[in-house]
């Protein structure tokens, strides 16, 4: 299924990949829905929910997942551009 790639990403011919993490690059390449499906978020035993600190026999706390969206990525790139051009400080 083909997904829409925003102009903010297209205008630099994917040079923005240097500013994105692995999850964000996957969203750009495959789209929001395909990326979410690949994580298998509805399965409590999916690898994305495993706590990297080791196995626990009792409840050890939540393992929060940040699942990026295309809107977030566009916001991040616009903000980065604003910082580079001096329109946004900090």
Count of CB atoms situated within 10 Å of the CB of 24:
21
Angle at 64 between CA 61 and CA 68, to 5 degrees: 175
In a domain, 8, yes or no: yes
In a domain, 5, yes or no: yes
Instruction: Tell me how many domains the chain contains.
Output: 1
In a domain, 80, yes or no: no
What tens digit of pLDDT does each residue of 27-59 get? Answer: 998 998 888 888 887 887 777 776 666 566 655
Count of CB atoms situated within 10 Å of the CB of 77:
19
Task: Note the pLDDT of residue 36.
Answer: 85
In a domain, 76, yes or no: no
H runs (alpha helix) in 31-66: 32-39
Please give the residue range of the domain that contains residue 22. 1-49+65-70
What tens digit of pLDDT does each residue of 6-28 get? Answer: 888 888 777 888 889 888 999 99
Q: Which residue has the tokens 């393992």?
A: 63
In a domain, 83, yes or no: no
């Amino acid at each position: 299924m083909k997904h829409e790639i925003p102009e903010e990403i297209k205008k630099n011919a994917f040079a923005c990949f240097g500013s994105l993490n692995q999850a964000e690059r996957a969203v750009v390449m495959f789209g929001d829905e395909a990326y979410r499906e690949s994580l298998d978020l509805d399965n409590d035993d999916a690898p994305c929910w495993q706590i990297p600190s080791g196995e626990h026999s009792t409840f050890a706390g939540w393992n929060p997942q940040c699942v990026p969206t295309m809107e977030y990525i566009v916001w991040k790139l616009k903000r980065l551009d604003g910082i580079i051009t001096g329109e946004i400080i900090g």
